[in-house]
Amino acid sequence: MVSDTWYAEIESTIFTYLQYHLVEKEDAPFPMLNCTTSSQSESIEDIVEFPTLYVHLLPPVEMGNDLENKDVPAIRASFELQVFSNKSETECRKLITACIQIMKSLSFNVPLLPDPQTSAKKYFAITRCSRVIASGDSDIVPRE
């Protein structure tokens, strides 16, 4: 039986998967990466830990309603991924590329590829990824 609030777990599931593959896995490419789902500030100038990945689930949209309309059969989950570096644009580009590759492996669409920017000698890139996830998609992330 699928939980009535299965969609509430999507952000933490994707966050944990990204963090594992970018930071915790034995051959992780960014072992010093700070990963968060908490908005640290309104401005890049206020970020103190580098490099940083901010993962944010945008408000999901319900999909696939039936006539009874008693549960949430599916959602369109859209994530905003923000990466920050104080080292170089190259590090920023490598980090956002690694994030995109992981999201693509989970069948997310990436409609707009990021273009790293600079502000106050800090580098950042933002991308959005989305896909439809059904209530029965218990294996949204593959088991290792």
pLDDT at 1: 45
Q: Which residues contact 49 (CB under 8 A, 6 or more apart)?
A: 34
Residue 20 to residues 59, 93, 137, 138, Cα–Cα distance (Å):
24, 19, 20, 19
Query: Could you tell me the residue ranges of all domains in the chain?
Result: 6-134
Element (H, E) at 85: strand 74-85
**Whole-number pLDDT of residue 143:** 66
pLDDT tens string for the chain (144 positions)? 456 678 888 999 999 999 999 999 999 999 999 999 987 555 556 667 889 999 999 999 999 877 787 788 899 999 999 999 999 999 999 999 999 999 999 999 999 888 889 887 889 999 999 999 998 886 677 766
Name every residue whose Cβ is closer than 8 Å to that of residue 38 and which is 6 or more positions away in sequence.
Answer: none
Which architecture characterizes domain 6-134 according to CATH?
2-Layer Sandwich (3.30)
